[in-house]
Structure 1
Amino acid sequence: MARFTKTVNIWDLDSEQRAALQVGQWVSAGENGPRGRFFGEGSSTVAAWVGNAKGSRDYRGYMSTMHNYGKVVRATAALVALRNSNEQVAA
């Protein structure tokens, strides 16, 4: 998915579809579930849920922290994929 779309139910997506989501895409946990922003897919799925952000008393700080964590998860996933492809070439 190259562009932002309406809120996506993240439970309906497999890991490849989640990895293709654009960072910052609005997602929900279930059909009428809580909304959040998608920040990455790798060893885990990183989403910053609005309810958690509001409860943190620092909305921007929470979103920034989750965005940075999403960067780490995406970078780690890219390195693992690169290592796996290098191992296949070497074999």
Structure 2
Amino acid sequence: MRWSSKAFGNIQRNLSKLRRQLEICHKQSLYTGPSKQELKIMDKINQLLYQEEIWMKQRSRVTWLKDGDRNTSFFQAQATKRKRQN
């Protein structure tokens, strides 16, 4: 399965841009506390990190289902692991 950027966009590129913007804002800051613009950028970064986490979970679940269906030993190992954790 191919994971395109249609559903989530290019998360890593957007994170890099926002981190650069945050660094610039931080350097231009005249006082020690974060400005409104910095807070806004940090909020956007947190949203993107959350999206990335969701994307990773979905991708791992699809991989697990695909590999688990074809590989009984893989499925049994995962079931045993889950049983031990519970």
TM-score by length of 2: 0.45
- More helix by percentage: 2
Q: Give the structure with the higher percent strand.
A: 1
Compute the TM-score of the two structures, normalised by the length of structure 1.
0.43
Say which structure, 1 or 2, has more relative contact order (CA 8 Å, 6+ apart).
Answer: 2
